[in-house]
């Protein structure tokens, strides 16, 4: 086995430029010419560029709610851009032809994503948003609000919003324990962020190779060496949040990183429930490929949680 590649890290932007008159004019002439989805995505992408305070400024300028712009920001982060792309003629024809094709759930139920976030008690000031409600419960609650959709549609909407869904069916039985654990993690993350200490979310995909814990710890070392140390030169502590089920096996390979970095490292394991990080500043990827048996690559992603 060997490291196949380490993806390039996007440049970080920590300052929040205010909109000058030219940028404000661009927004003013563009917004009236966009449909609902285009408006949301445009404002979300712009809010992402502006950084902290951008959502508030755009909301005040356009009258679009903060929740809608927050949704657009999440969608923009998940959307691959192509400045040279043009809509196909067939797509333009469908846009201009009334009644063509099946209507999307958002056109049938405007504001359904905002309603769904309200059911999840979404708070953009917190680094972590979660729910232990099942898809069927969420679908029923939307129905009570006049938006009758199936639980499959709810699943699709959650995925579009960036939520990861539980795989463990024991969630309902342990809901109280999970809520308490997530509240603890959220409170601890907020404390670290207020103190200027780094908080990272570590996701490991295809965690089948036996060297999973060692590779995960080595990826954290690489992140700290190339990003973390420069971003947090005065940090004395690091808070790691992960889904890694074998948390105890993670401690030993992580110890060498603790010794080398001289950081006090805290690790919290996420319970298997629906959750979403809504304040991500940048993501660092590293993958390990076993070319011998052709198994899926082991991939580790480290997301730096953004402070409010």
Range scoring the smallest mean pLDDT among 47-56, 82-91, 117-126: 82-91
- Domain assignment present for 259: yes
Question: Rounded mean pLDDT of 133-160?
Answer: 88
Q: Confidence band (pLDDT; 50, 70, 90) for 129?
A: confident
Question: What is the CB neighbour count within 10 angstroms for residue 236?
Answer: 10
Q: Say what the pLDDT of residue 99 is.
A: 52
SS3 of residue 211 by DSSP? coil
Least confidently predicted of 5-14, 64-73, 86-95, 250-259: 5-14
How far apart are alpha carbons 214 and 253 in whole angstroms? 5
- Condensed to tens digits (0 to 9), the pLDDT of residues 43-66 reads 989 988 887 778 888 888 888 888
**Listed residues 101, 125, 141: the one ending a domain:** 101
* pLDDT tens per residue, range 214-238: 878 888 888 898 888 988 999 999 9
Question: Residue range 134-138: average pLDDT?
Answer: 87
- From the list 105, 39, 99, the residue with the least C-alpha distance to 73 is 39
Q: Kindly state whether residue 154 falls inside one of the protein's structural domains.
A: no
Last residue of a domain, one of 58, 73, 101: 101
Beta-sheet strands, E only, within the chain: 2-6, 128-131, 199-205, 237-242, 264-269, 274-277, 280-289, 298-305
Residues 29-39: tens digit of each pLDDT: 888 888 888 88
Q: What is the per-residue pLDDT for 141?
A: 93
Per DSSP, helices labelled H in the chain are 21-30, 36-50, 54-62, 66-78, 89-96, 105-108, 112-119, 135-144, 151-160, 175-194, 212-223, 229-231, 247-261
Tokens of 273: 């429930």
pTM over 0.85: no
Domain annotation covers residue 265: yes
Token pair 């917190």 is found at: 126
How many domains does the chain contain in total?
2
The domain of 228 spans: 2-9+193-305
Q: Is residue 287 part of a domain?
A: yes
Give helix 135-144 / helix 151-160 axis angle, nearest 10°.
Answer: 100
| Assigned domain for 258 exists | yes
Residue 167, number of CB atoms within 10 A of its CB = 8
Is residue 89 scored above 50 in pLDDT? no
pLDDT of residue 255: 85
Q: Is the pLDDT score of 135 beyond 50?
A: yes
Pairing mode, if any, of strands 264-269 and 237-242? parallel
Residue 85 within a domain: yes
Could you tell me the pLDDT band of residue 239, with boundaries at 50, 70 and 90?
Answer: very high
- Predicted confidence (pLDDT) at residue 295 exceeds the cutoff of 70: no
With a cut of 80, say whether residue 242 has pLDDT above it: yes
Pair 69, 44: CB distance under 8 Å: yes
Q: What is the overall mean pLDDT for the chain?
A: 76
Percent of the chain past pLDDT 90, that is, above it, reads 11
- CA neighbor of 284 nearest in space, from 207, 208, 211, 231: 231
Q: Residue 114 domain-assigned?
A: no
Considering 74, 101, 128, which residue would you say is the last residue of a domain?
101
Is 181 among the domain residues?
no
Residue by residue, DSSP assigns 238-267 as EEEEE--S-HHHHHHHHHHHHHHHT-EEEE
């Amino acid at each position: 086995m060997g490291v196949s590649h380490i993806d390039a890290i996007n440049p970080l932007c920590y300052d929040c430029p205010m909109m000058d008159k030219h940028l404000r004019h661009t927004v003013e002439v563009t917004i009236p010419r966009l449909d609902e989805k285009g408006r949301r995505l445009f404002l979300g992408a712009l809010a992402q560029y502006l950084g902290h305070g951008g959502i508030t400024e755009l909301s005040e300028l356009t009258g679009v709610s903060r929740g809608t712009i927050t949704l657009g920001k999440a969608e923009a982060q998940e959307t691959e851009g192509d400045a040279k792309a043009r809509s196909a003629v067939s797509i333009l024809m469908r846009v201009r032809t009334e009644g063509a094709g099946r209507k999307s759930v958002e056109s049938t139920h405007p504001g359904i994503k905002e309603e769904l976030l309200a059911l999840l008690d979404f708070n953009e000031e917190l680094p972590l948003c979660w729910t232990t409600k099942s898809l069927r419960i969420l679908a029923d609650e939307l129905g009570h609000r006049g938006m009758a959709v199936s639980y499959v549609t709810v699943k699709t909407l959650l995925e579009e919003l960036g939520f990861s869904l539980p795989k463990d069916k024991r969630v309902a039985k342990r809901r109280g324990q999970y809520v308490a654990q997530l509240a603890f993690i959220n409170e601890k993350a907020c404390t670290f962020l207020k103190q200027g200490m780094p908080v990272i979310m570590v996701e490991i995909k295809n965690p089948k190779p036996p060297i999973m814990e060692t590779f995960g710890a080595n990826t954290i070392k690489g992140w700290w060496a190339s990003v973390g140390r420069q971003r947090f030169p005065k940090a004395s502590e690091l808070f790691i949040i992960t889904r890694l089920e074998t948390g105890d096996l993670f401690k030993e390979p992580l110890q060498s990183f603790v010794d080398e970095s001289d950081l006090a490292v805290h690790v919290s394991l996420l319970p298997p429930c629906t959750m979403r990080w809504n304040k991500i500043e940048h993501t660092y990827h590293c993958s390990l490929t076993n070319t011998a048996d052709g198994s899926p690559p082991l991939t580790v992603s480290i997301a730096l949680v953004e402070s409010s």
